[in-house]
Structure 1
Amino acid sequence: MTFRKAVQLLALGFLAMSSPAAQGAMKPSGAEMQKPPDYERAVRSEFEAVRAENTVQAYERFIRRHPGHPLIGDARKAISRLQGR
């Protein structure tokens, strides 16, 4: 899967979550959306796209977007490798 295709799929997922059909997707305060039903699959797909891009910026973006995910360790290792540490 190319990076562009992965981004398109993620964008479609976000658009689907913002539709009226996604009732209950927001807390009553409207501040936080629930994770999609296949959140883990989406995150892993995004990480594969980041690996294909293989830049420090891509890995840092992944870390910012998914701060508590177990793949953060792999992202940090990749950053270290790319920076020659």
Structure 2
Amino acid sequence: MGSTMPVFRMNATPKAFTISLAFTISLPIVAVVLPEPDRLLQKGHLSMAKAIASDAKPDTAPADTMPPARDPRLAVEEEYQLARRQNTVQALELFIARHPDDPLAAKARADLRSLSR
């Protein structure tokens, strides 16, 4: 009368599968447990490695992190030269509208008059 139940045997797991499974499981754990490399550098744990790589002393910030501001006179001069090279009424009028009080605006007005002739 008995019903027969299938019997499953546990075969020995291949070694390669066991190693890959252990690796797959440990990867997320390592990612969660270990802090990020940048965080290690910020805390000073690897400050010597960072100092050697950058030729700087540990725990010092670079002196100039931003380039100096551009000279506004040079920027206006370059814009005027560009308007002259374009040699159009629109370019000269745009320059005059952007820099009405600049001494180069008088030159641009003169250029505009000579262009209209």
TM-score normalized by structure 2?
0.40
Gaps of 5+ in 1: 1-20, 22-35
Q: Report how far residue 37 of structure 1 moved.
A: 4.6
Confirm or deny that 1:62 pairs with 2:101: no
Q: Indicate the structure whose relative CO is greater, using CA pairs within 8 Å and at least 6 residues apart.
A: 1
Which residue of structure 2 aligns with residue 74 of structure 1? 107
The structure whose Rg is larger is 2
Structure 2 counterpart of 1:80, which letter? R
Once residues 83 and 59 of structure 1 are traced to their aligned partners in structure 2, the CA distance between those partners, rounded to angstroms, is 11
Give the 5 Å matches for 1:36-51: 37-51=70-84
Number of residues paired by the alignment?
Answer: 50
Letter in 2 for 1:83: S
> Quick one: distance in 2 between partners of 1:76 and 1:67?
10
Show CA shifts across 1:1-37 (max 9, x none): xxxxxxxxxxxxxxxxxxxx7xxxxxxxxxxxxxx65
Equivalent residue for 1:18?
none
- Is 1:53 the counterpart of 2:105? The answer is no
Give deviations 1:41-81, integer Å, cap 9, x for gaps: 00001111111000111000000101110001111111111
Unaligned runs of 5+ in 2: 1-65
**Overall identity of the aligned pairs, in %:** 42
- The aligned residue for residue 31 of structure 1 is none
Paired with 1:75 and 1:60, the residues of 2 have a C-alpha distance of 8
TM-score (norm 1): 0.55
RMSD: 1.3
